[in-house]
Structure 1
């Protein structure tokens, strides 16, 4: 298993979230550098939006 440290922070004191995530070697085997980075980015985005950050937008009518 390949291990990666995922982090996110808003910059405010106490807002940093950090977790070590494992990605199976089989998922990374045979990938070129671009494909590998894309896979890791995808896993990070899933981690980010699955309970580690909450946000959104709403249209403001004037």
Structure 2
């Protein structure tokens, strides 16, 4: 699903946020949110819509 996204890196960020939060660089985290979350959200929403349409 959505091979254009690096899911291993996304999971890796989650691990850092949960377990290695002392190493987080806040401005880099915010840059990532501003740059990457919106395109990811749009792709996930499109995949959900396509999946729901295929089920009908």
TM-score band by shorter chain is 0.3 to 0.5
The structure with the largest alpha-carbon Rg is 1
The alignment's TM-score, normalised by the length of structure 1, stands at 0.35
Please state which structure has a larger fraction of its residues in strand.
Answer: 1
The alignment's TM-score, normalised by the length of structure 2, stands at 0.37
Please state which structure has a larger fraction of its residues in helix.
Answer: 2
Q: Which has the higher contact order (CA 8 A, sep 6+)?
A: 2
